[in-house]
Amino acid sequence: MADIREWRGQPVVDEKGHRIGTLESVYVETSTDEPCFATVMTGMTKRRLAFVPLNGSVAGPGYLRVPYPKAKVKQAPAIGTDDILPATDEPEVFAYYELPYATGAGGERRLARR
């Protein structure tokens, strides 16, 4: 899934094929530069970028399917369309999806936007 960064603007759907939004950006693990989370543009009037893990995602013809229900992603931690995730908010994103979180050995942040 290393080419996921080229999918910006493609539809993101849940495990049942329901459209969640549009892929806006990819956050990578800083230690490996591997895609870890995507931000999905949601909302019609109040646009926001909701975070969703990329583990278990499948790229299909013209869409990215994530293994989470639409309702869960829509309630996920989010940032404004012009914002970047602050380092202090990283643990909340991981905790929402019940994923383990730890900073780098020197306290480095774990995610970087690409």
pLDDT in tens, 39-63: 999 987 788 999 999 999 998 888 9
What's the first-to-final CA gap in the chain, in angstroms?
14
- Going by C-beta distance under 8 Å and a sequence separation of 6 or more, which residues neighbour residue 37? 26, 27, 51, 52, 53, 54, 93, 111
pTM over 0.85: yes
How many angstroms separate the CA atoms of 104 and 24, rounded?
26
Can you list the residues of the chain whose pLDDT is less than 50?
1-2
